[in-house]
Amino acid sequence: MNVVRRLPRPQTLRARLTFGLVVLLAVSCAAVGIAAVVGVNGFLTQRLDQQLSEVGTRLPASLEHKGPVPSDHDGDEYGDTRRQATDTFGARLVDGRVTNKALIRSDDVAADLNVDLTATDEQRLAAVPVDGRAHTVELSALDDYRVVASPGKDGDVLIVGLPLEPMQATVHRLELVAAIVFGLALAVTGVAGALWVRWSLRPLSRVAATATRVSELPLASGEVVLPPRAPESDPRSEVGRVAGAFNRMLGHVEDALTKRHASEERLRRFAADASHELRTPVASVRGHAELALLHPGPVPPEVTRALERIAAESSRMGEMVDEMLLLARLDAGRPLERRPVDLTRLVLDAVTDARATGPGHRWTLELPEEPVTVTGDAHRLQQVLANLLANARLHTPVGTEVAVSLETDGTTASLKVHDDGPGVPEEIRPGVFERFTRADHRRHADASGGGAGLGLSIVAAVVEAHGGSVGLESRLGATTFTVRLPAGDVSNA
C-alpha cells in the first residue's frame, strides 16, 4: 500500500504570509517568464519566416536543371549560393520524391550536394504543404528546420529552409537568464518578505505572549495579578484593533477576578465569624440539655426523649460548626503545624477506632516494615484518616471489606482506603471533594447517620495544605480513595 505523504504546511501566521508572498511572486515571475519566452520565440520565428521569404527559391531552383552556372561561381555543380545564409537547405521534389538536395555549409563555399536524408526525412519534406507558408520540420540529419514549399516550373516542388537552432539557442538562453534572475528575486524577496512580515506582526506576537502568560496564571484560585497589558499599535490596523480588544478583555477579566476574590473573602469571613459565634450557643444548648437529663426528679419519657434528641443534634451541630470553622481557616491560609508525624501510628490507631465503631465491617490493614514519617499537623492528619474510614463505614453495607494500606517510595507516602461496596454514584464523582456534596441516596439502603457533606472536602483541604493530593477511583464493587503526601521529617521538608 502506497502512502501519499503531504508536504508540511506552514503553521504560524508569519510563515503562511511569507509563503503566500513567495508563491504569488513565483506565479508572477513564471507568468512574466513564459510571456517573455513566448513573445521572443514568436518574434524570432516571424523574423526567420521573413528571412525565408527574402531568400526565395533561388537555391532549390538552381537544382532543377544543370544549366549555365552563374558568373560568380566556378565549375558546373548545382546550387546557387548567392545571398544565401549559412546552413540554408534546399530540395527539389518530383512526385513526392526528393531528387536533388543541397546545403550551404559556408558563405564562400559551394553548396554541399551530399546531404544524407533518411526515408523519414524525405516523407516529412513531402508532407509539407505547398502553400508558400513557413512550416517546422524535424530532420534527423539536420535537426529542426523552418521550411517553405513552393511549386516549380516543371511541376516539381521546391523547398527552401533555414535552421531553427540559432533561434532555439537564443530562447534557451533567455529561459536560463530568466530562471536565474527570477530565482534570485524569489530568494531575496523571501528573506525580505519574512523580515517585513515579522516586523509587521510584532505587535501581534506581543499580544500572543501576553495571552500565554495569562493562560499560565491560576485564575481559579485566590487573588490573581494579571501581567502588563499588550502594547497597542495603530488602532486603524487589524493588529491594533486586536491588541485593543484583548487589553479591554483583560481589564474585564481583572475586574471580575477582583470582585470574585472580594466576594469570596466576605463569604470566608462570614463563615468563620458565624462558625465562631455559633460555637457558644450550641455548646450552651447542649449543656442545658445534658443538665436537664441529670435532674433527679421524675421526668416524663417524652421529655427525656426530647432532651436526648436536643443533646444529640446539638452535638452534631457543634461538629458541623467546627468543620466549617476549620475549612474557613484553611481557606484563609492559616499555617498548620509542621512537625514529624508517624503516619504508621496514626493509621494503626484510626483503623483500631474504626473496628470498634463499625464491628459489622471487615477491616484489614497493610503497613510497611519501617515507619512512614511525614511532616505536618498530626491532629489534622488524624482527622483525614477518621473521615475516610467513617465515609467507608457509613456508605457501605454491613459485611463490606475495607482495606487500608500504607506504602512509601522514600519521597511520597501513599495511603489507600479500598472497599468492595456498591461504589460512589457516577453523577457525584466529579464533585465528591466539594463542600456539601451528598448523594441523592446512600451507597446502601441501610446506612444511617451522616453529616452535611463536609467530610471529604475537609480531607481534600487538609491534604492540599500539606502539599499532597487526594484522588478517587470507583466502580461497582471497588472504591479506592488515595492520599499522597510528601514523605520525610522537618529537616527534609
- Orientation of helix 165-200 relative to helix 13-55, angle to 10°: 160
Q: How far apart are CA 18 and CA 196, in angstroms?
A: 9
Q: Give the best-scoring range by mean pLDDT among 86-90, 98-102, 379-383, 416-420.
A: 416-420
Q: How far apart are CA 377 and CA 465, in angstroms?
A: 10
Which 3 state secondary structure label does DSSP give 346? helix
Q: How many C-alpha atoms does 177 have within 13 Å on its Cβ side?
A: 8
The predicted pLDDT at position 73 comes to: 43
CA distances from 355 to 351, 397, 403 (A): 6, 15, 12
Q: Could you tell me if 369 and 405 are in contact, meaning their C-beta atoms sit under 8 angstroms apart?
A: no
Instruction: Name the band, by pLDDT with cuts 50, 70 and 90, for residue 233.
Output: low
Query: What percent of the chain has pLDDT above 90?
Result: 11
The predicted pLDDT at position 98 comes to: 85
> What is the dihedral sign for C-alpha 65, 70, 75, 81?
negative
Q: How far apart are CA 128 and CA 427, in angstroms?
A: 90
Instruction: Name the band, by pLDDT with cuts 50, 70 and 90, for residue 75.
Output: very low
Tell me which residue of 404, 343, 337 sits closest to 373, measured CA to CA.
Answer: 343
The predicted pLDDT at position 77 comes to: 45
**Residue type present at position 357:** T
Pairing state of beta strands 143-151 and 134-139?
A: antiparallel
Instruction: Name the band, by pLDDT with cuts 50, 70 and 90, for residue 448.
Output: very low
Backbone region of residue 95 per phi and psi (left: phi > 0; alpha: psi in -120 to 50; beta: other values)? left
The predicted pLDDT at position 290 comes to: 76
Query: Which of residues 355 and 85 earns the better pLDDT score?
Result: 355
Q: How far apart are CA 38 and CA 51, in angstroms?
A: 20
* pLDDT of 252 above 60: yes
Tell me which residue of 152, 87, 147, 85 sits closest to 122, measured CA to CA.
Answer: 147
Residue 460's DSSP bridge partners are none
Instruction: Name the band, by pLDDT with cuts 50, 70 and 90, for residue 427.
Output: confident
Q: How far apart are CA 246 and CA 226, in angstroms?
A: 13
Lowest mean pLDDT among 12-26, 117-131, 192-206, 433-447: 433-447
Tell me which residue of 416, 421, 418 sits closest to 399, measured CA to CA.
Answer: 421
Residue in this structure with the C-alpha cell 499532597, named with its chain if needed? 468
* pLDDT of 270 above 80: no
Tell me which residue of 172, 115, 164 sits closest to 137, measured CA to CA.
Answer: 164
With 0-12 / 13-18 / 19 or more C-beta atoms within 10 angstroms meaning exposed / middle / buried, residue 345 is: middle
C-alpha cell at 462: 487538609
Q: How far apart are CA 403 and CA 351, in angstroms?
A: 10
With 0-12 / 13-18 / 19 or more C-beta atoms within 10 angstroms meaning exposed / middle / buried, residue 219 is: middle
How does pLDDT run across 465-493, given as a tens digit for each residue? 888 999 999 888 889 999 999 987 644 43
The predicted pLDDT at position 417 comes to: 93
The predicted pLDDT at position 72 comes to: 47
